[in-house]
Amino acid sequence: MKQPRNILLVDDEEEFLETTSLRLRRRSFEVRTATRWSEAMPEVEAGWPHVVVLDVMLPDVDGMECLRRIKDLRRHLPVVMLTGHASLQASLWGLEHGASDYCLKPIELDELIEKIIIAYQDAGGSS
């Protein structure tokens, strides 16, 4: 089974970033984090991440707009959207515009890893 190695976590909740990145690193993933789109954009432009885990609510750019920008830069880059606020309309929009999956926070680590791997494989990823 092919797995992604480089995961970019984009979320304005620093505690979530710290905890999740530490736990993903313990599972042998390379992880970089960003609390704003302006921090994440250079990583996406450079082609570093195999998968982006993106919060819907960011302080500088709306997560849905971030998804659009990611897909403009790297159309096949898998993006798993996360939100703390359930919204059927937002989840449908995200999926229609290229999100690989749309998950509610809090999310169990094993479930998040499964979503990341599936998104990567569905996008035709190879290690």
In the chain, how many domains are there? 1
Parallel, antiparallel, or unpaired: how do β-strands 30-34 and 51-55 relate?
A: unpaired
In a domain, 1, yes or no: no
In a domain, 30, yes or no: yes
Q: Quick one: angle between helices 63-73 and 88-96, nearest 10?
A: 10
Q: What is the CA radius of gyration of the chain?
A: 13
In a domain, 97, yes or no: yes
In a domain, 127, yes or no: no
pTM strictly above 0.75: yes
Range of 89's domain?
6-122
CATH number at 74 reads 3.40.50.2300
pLDDT tens track, the chain, 127 positions: 678 999 999 999 999 999 999 999 999 999 999 999 999 999 999 999 999 999 988 999 988 899 999 999 999 999 999 988 766 677 777 888 899 999 988 999 999 999 999 999 999 885 4
In a domain, 77, yes or no: yes
Neighbours of 33 (CB within 10 A): 19
In a domain, 116, yes or no: yes
In a domain, 108, yes or no: yes
